[in-house]
Amino acid sequence: MAAAATCGTGTRSTGSVVVAASRNNVTSFQRRGPRASGTDSGCSRLVSIAGTRPSVRNGQLLVSTGLPALDQLLGGGLAVGTVLLIEEDKYNIYSPLLFKYFLAEGIVTGHTLLVASAKEDPADILQELPAPLLDDNCKKECDEDICNHKTESNIKMKIAWRYQLLPKMEARPVSSSRFGHYYDVSKRIPQELIEASKWHGFFLPEKISSTLNVEPCSLNHGYIKLLQFIQNIIYEEGFDGSNPQKKQKNILRIGIQNLGSPLWGDDICWTENCDSSHSLTKFLYMLRGLLRTSLSACIITVPTHLIQNKAIIARVTNLSDTVVGLESFIGSEKETNPLYKDYHGLIHIRQIPQLNNLIYDVSDVKDLAFKLKRKLFTIE
């Protein structure tokens, strides 16, 4: 994402014309520095949005997922206008953590939230978000974890795996100007931060009525209501880019919990030959159309382990931009495997979007495990 600054021209001396010509002759290997002339103070500049940064790979605007280690694996963060699909673990223990990290990051950075769920009231979900962690405390937590290892070789191995995916931490308090924060899962986010934030809730049982007559449609009623709700928020609050001069730009973070589950009125989880097999895929197709033309980013958790038809899983994956799968060791043979004794599960980066391309990228890192400590969720 780039923007060119344009200014009005006036009467200039010969020397100033030469200087201007030399400034315009900027190659791709030269950086255009800040202008010192007073006449350039009125030039239009690229508007910066708190909690975002441009990608070093393609210039696309990025937001943090709330987990810095995951940001690094996804190429720096989650691209604005894209969908991050989280494949829930079997017992749905760890996927809600990634969901809450994403929402907590939005509150800390001042983004607007849209929380949709058929299981929990969005207001209750916000009350359970983790608290921001000071960087010096985060470093202390990591150091304590390292010191718990018995031998020096284990300590060296822990340092290598611990810090190769994490950015350097500075000893200063959490600030909204930073990109990506750390959170303490043992504490809840302060109530004053929630009250100061702007959010919208979509609780499916409150949006639909059992006595309502619904006309036959390729989408079930819950998906239709959710699409209309998201569309209204995007267009009424200017996240589609309308009225750019009247309102300061911001990011809309959309979180949808347990999409595709029976609670949403979908039957893809209990039968292979379901009647509404295309309802979820059409919803994702239309949702991506809304996101592509707006300043919004979306995270969706889907119980893919419950979907009987594998073809539906493939279509859902193809309609998502970024796909991350969580595999918990609970109840599996890996739980007793000595190789995995220090971890709670594996994390799989299924696909990473190559924006403005027709193909997807695949992460170079294959062997990734996660561990939930007393305060931190870490990827190693």
CA angle (107, 111, 113) in 5-degree steps: 75
CA-to-CA distance for 279 and 222, rounded, in angstroms? 10
Residue 358's pLDDT is what? 60
Residue 251's pLDDT is what? 94
Place of tokens 């569309």: 231
Where helices occur in 25-147 by DSSP H, the ranges are 68-73, 95-109, 122-127, 135-147
Residue 44's pLDDT is what? 38
Nearest Cα neighbor of 201 from 264, 95, 108, 120 is 120
- What letters, b where the CB count within 10 A reaches 16 and e where it falls short, cover 31-70? eeeeeeeeeeeeeeeeeebbbbebbeeeebbbbbbbbbbb
Residue 273's pLDDT is what? 62
- Say what the pTM is: 0.77
Place of tokens 């979306």: 298
Contacts of 110 by beta carbon, 8 Å cutoff, 6+ apart = 50, 51, 176, 197, 250
Residue 196's pLDDT is what? 94
CA-to-CA distance for 33 and 74, rounded, in angstroms? 30
CB 83 within 8 A of CB 296: no
Instruction: Label the pairing between strands 83-87 and 296-302.
Output: parallel
Q: Residue 183 — φ and ψ, nearest 5°? A: -135, 150
Residue 136's pLDDT is what? 54
Mean pLDDT for back-to-back runs of 10 residues, the chain (380 residues): 41 42 46 45 56 85 94 91 94 94 96 96 96 67 50 45 44 54 94 94 85 58 93 91 66 95 80 68 93 94 88 91 93 86 92 71 74 90
Rg, Å, the chain Cα set: 23
